[in-house]
Amino acid sequence: MIKAVTFDLWQTLITEKPEEEERRRSLRYERMLALLSELGKPSTLGALEEAYRACGEWLQEVWKENKDVSTRDQVDFVLRRLDKDLRLSQTDWERLEEAYVSPIRDIPPVALPGAREALRTLSQTGVCLGLICNTGRTPGRVLRPLLEGMGLRAYFKAMAFSDELRVRKPDERIFMKVLADLQTSPEQAVHVGDIAETDVAGAKRAGLLALHLVRDGSKPSPEADGVLRSAAEVPDWIANR
């Protein structure tokens, strides 16, 4: 019997247009450069772009090990790349981190069609819901209020963000943390996500069932226990087991 369902976040429950990340990056550059100038530590757009690119390469190497870092660590990397001897107060570091993470509030993601209804239906049937999210440039502390505003957060009894736990899917520890919070065993849970290498493989490694959301002609994972087109199909899949 399925007692808990855990969901991936991006491209499973919420989405964005490709150009929106570019707009956020531009805002991030603009705000960080303005603040550095205000603090008497001016830089150039070219230098910041290079530091940001280098940070992205560093993150990819960290993520290959299924580990993660905080956005404060990311900001520290970028600023040390600009000036390895940079000295700032704690308050100024916090202001720069806020400039780094704030653009998603200006250009927020949207819920995918059927996502909210699926969460509502599952909750009404007594299934416990959890969220397991690999973060990028936006930390869990910013995503939580965004999910609140989208009417999604209230459905989850447990949430795990990789920047806070410092581990990423497919590491089984992030799955087990949410299951522990839900007081549910892996054998009684199913995970739903769109990436075979992280959502499906990670869930199976942790002992959960795994549903692979496949869109745009993507290849279904042979490990998946079910292949769906959207989160809207999850309640029926659970009901028909």
Mean pLDDT of 184-198: 97
Q: Which residues contact 135 (CB under 8 A, 6 or more apart)?
A: 68, 143, 161, 162, 163
Domain boundaries, the chain: 4-16+111-239, 18-106
Please give the CATH number for the structural domain made up of 4-16+111-239. Answer: 3.40.50.1000
Is a pLDDT exceeding 80 seen at residue 217? no
pLDDT at 236: 97
Percent of the residues in the chain that have a pLDDT greater than 70, as a whole number: 100
The pTM of the full predicted model, rounded to 2 decimals, is 0.95
Mean pLDDT of 141-146: 98
* 124: exposed, middle or buried (Cβ count in 10 Å: 0-12, 13-18, 19+): exposed
Which structure tokens are listed for 67? 């580990």
pLDDT at 215: 83
Q: How far apart are CA 178 and CA 182, in angstroms?
A: 6
Tell me the pLDDT tens digit for each residue of 52-88.
Answer: 999 999 999 999 999 999 999 999 999 999 999 889 9
SS3 169: coil
Task: Identify whether 170 is preceded by a cis peptide bond (ω within 30 of 0).
Answer: yes
Percent of the residues in the chain that have a pLDDT greater than 90, as a whole number: 95
Q: How far apart are CA 21 and CA 116, in angstroms?
A: 23
Average pLDDT of the chain, as a whole number: 96
Count CA within 13 A, CB hemisphere, residue 71. 22
pLDDT category of residue 32 using cuts at 50, 70 and 90: very high
Tell me the pLDDT tens digit for each residue of 109-128.
Answer: 999 999 999 999 999 999 99
